[in-house]
Amino acid sequence: MLELYGTIDIGSTNCKIGVFNENGHLVYRDNDPLSTQVSNGKEEIDPYRIWKAVSTMCRRIPETIKEQMKAICVIGQGPTIIPVDRSGKPLHRGVTWLDGRGKERIPALIDQGVDPQLAAGLSILEWLQKELTEPAFLLQPADYIVFRLSGKLANMSFPYVGYLPWSEEALEERGWSNAFLVPELIETGRPLSFVNQEAAAGLGLTTQTLITSGAPDFVAALIGTGTVENGFLCDRGGSSQGVTLCSGTKAFPTGLMTTPFFTPGLWKISGIMNTTGIAVEWFCKKVIRQSFELSLERAADQTTPSKILFLPYLSGERCPHWDNQAKGVFWGLSLDSDAERMTLAVLESVGYAMADAIERMARAGCEIKRIRTTGKQALSSFWNQIKSDILGKPVEVLEIQESELWGGALLSMKALFEKDLTLLCREKTRVGCTFYPDLQKNALYAELLKIYQNLYAANKALFSQFDKIGKWP
């Protein structure tokens, strides 16, 4: 009987659980919805609601699967900050990465040489420390769930810059080390603890189930897609977008983030875009008022590029502009523009954003051998083809499309069997299908990409001017 490996994934709008056997077969999957509280630039999530979702999913797992589950790995979105007291009780709602408070500080911090991931966390902590009345341990959603399962306060990550939105050194430099406490760091892919008796009794799990140290969801996606070798690039598309290259070259493309990869000798070069997939959902739900699925189906009837450009900056933008004032723009509309072509334009905007990031990597001397796509966007063959046509390169979809959940399972195997992660990914990760570019469409997209790349600069001053309208002293 094959042993099973579970992964819990704490997303922005859903919690998911997947259980795999060692051959990569998904034997069980479930999800439970989450929601954030949004108002006046705030975007927060209730830690107790996250735990309720996880508890609900765990109780629904069939008993036979629970008995075979050797390990659980918890991964999650971020940077989202959940401050807790020494007993693990939340002192504030979780502050998500889309929260607008303090975002204006990020560009200045980056200009000072602060890593963008760290800058995002520090911009939140700067105002959060004024709202707390007692010292707080800093957790992310996955850390909080591991505490509820094991009773252990810990940060799960790699001990390198670019993976945690805080550090003891940064807190000390700013005089915040008394306000914020950093728990023990348990390196990703290591044994962390076992499910404790309270969680086992409440959720129907066994105390023999090992909890292995998880990671940010983007790391799990890199592992689950086998993006752990020089020249492999992972496009992770959900509500937001992450384009991450595993590079043997230490390069610093303008507007992107370069930090050590979690494998020595390699570098992680990333472009993170705020509102890509969620821009499509926004357009479908709030503008044309039809379902996402129907909108894609109708847009797929278009046989040529839309020749409409869309800037998907609905909550400012991170890479490559780092501009909290950037706004969404449709450009090139005419009397021929309709819902289908505008939907296609929003889908194409993701491909343009990817192409811009990949061009910056190539200009900096990076080698890009293979492009692999994952996440909700990868479930759409139409969208995958658009990306390939715009990039002018093959785009691979993995056999196991739940790459983040699979990445968590691979981390559990690494922890249990002490296997080399690169070799494990080569052995267990397989390409399912490949999308090849239409060269005729690519030639037109290449011309449109040049205009897309100039649109931000042409509108930057107007974004700033627009942002000031309606703000009172």
How is the beta sheet containing 136-139 ordered, strand by strand? 82-84, 136-139, 180-181
pLDDT at 327: 96
Q: How many residues are listed for the chain in this entry?
A: 473
Give yes or no for residue 468 having a pLDDT over 90.
Answer: no
- What pLDDT score does 2 carry? 78
pLDDT at 187 over 80: yes
Written as six digits, the tokens of 165 are: 């939105």
Q: Rounded to the nearest 10 degrees, how much is the dihedral formed by the CA atoms of 392, 393, 398, 403?
A: -70
More confident residue, 94 or 36: 94
Asked if 310 contacts 271 with a C-beta cutoff of 8 angstroms, the reply is no
pLDDT for 473 beyond 60: no
Q: Answer with the residue of higher pLDDT: 470 or 264.
A: 264
Determine the pLDDT at residue 249. 95
How many beta carbons lie within 10 A of that of residue 88, not counting itself? 17
Please, are residues 61 and 29 in contact by the beta-carbon 8 Å criterion?
no
The pLDDT value given to residue 122:
92
pLDDT at 470 over 80: no
Distance (Å, rounded) from C-alpha 261 to C-alpha 218?
Answer: 12
332 phi-psi bin (left φ>0, alpha ψ -120 to 50, beta other)? left
Alpha carbons within 13 A on the beta-carbon side of 240: 24
How far apart CA 130 and CA 124 sit, in angstroms, is: 11
CB 246 within 8 Å of CB 232: yes
Neighbours of 9 (CB within 10 A): 26
**Mean of the per-residue pLDDT values for the chain?**
94
Least confident residue range of 314-328, 343-357, 447-461? 314-328
Whether the CB-CB separation of 215 and 157 falls below 8 Å is answered with yes
How far, in Å, CA of 410 to CA of 24, rounded?
A: 9
Nearest-angstrom CA–CA distance, 457 and 465: 14
Beta-strand pair 69-76/94-95: unpaired
Torsion over CA of 129, 133, 134 and 140, rounded to 10 degrees? -50
- Confidence label for 288 from pLDDT (cuts 50, 70 and 90): very high
Instruction: Give residue-wise pLDDT tens across range 116-173.
Output: 778 888 999 999 999 999 999 999 999 999 999 999 999 999 988 888 889 999 999 9
CA atoms within 13 A on the CB side of 190: 11
Residue 105 has pLDDT above 90, yes or no: no
Percent of the chain scoring above 90 in pLDDT: 84
pLDDT digits (tens, 9 = 90+) for 366-411: 999 999 999 889 999 999 999 999 999 999 999 998 999 999 999 9
Flag whether pLDDT at 472 surpasses 60: no
Q: Concatenated DSSP letters for 412-441?
A: HHHHHH---HHHHHHHH--EEEEE---HHH
Q: At what angle do helices 339-363 and 381-391 cross, to 10 degrees?
A: 50
Single-letter amino acid code for the residue at 90: P
Question: Using one digit for the tens of pLDDT, what is the confidence trace for 54-65?
Answer: 999 999 999 999
Name, in order, each residue with C-beta under 8 angstroms of 400's C-beta and a sequence gap of 6 or more: 24, 26, 224, 406, 429, 430, 432
Residue labelled with tokens 């490559």:
320
- With CA atoms as reference, report the closest residue to 117 among 165, 170, 171, 78: 165
Q: Residue for token digits 């052995």?
A: 427
User: By mean pLDDT, which of 77-81, 136-140, 232-236 is the weakest?
Assistant: 77-81
- Mean per-residue pLDDT, 282-302: 94
Exposure pattern of 326-343 as b/e (b: 16+ CB <10 Å)?
bbbbeeeeeeeeebbbbb
Please compute the mean of the pLDDT values over residues 345-351 and round it to a whole number.
97
Residue 471 has pLDDT above 70, yes or no: no
Angstrom distance (rounded) from CA 52 to CA 49: 5
- What average pLDDT score do residues 34-57 get? 92
Q: What is the distance between the terminal CA atoms of the chain, rounded to a whole angstrom? A: 68
CB 236 within 8 A of CB 228: no
**What integer pLDDT is reported at residue 77 of this predicted model?**
87
| Mean pLDDT in residue range 14-18 | 94
Q: Dmax over Cα atoms in the chain, in whole Å?
A: 68
Whether the pLDDT of residue 432 is over 90: the answer is yes
Average pLDDT on 406-426 reads: 94
Return the SS3 of 288: coil
**pLDDT class of 1 with cuts at 50, 70, 90:** low
Phi first, then psi, for residue 370 (nearest 5°) are -145, 145
Higher-pLDDT residue of 107 and 406 is 406
The residue type at 277? G
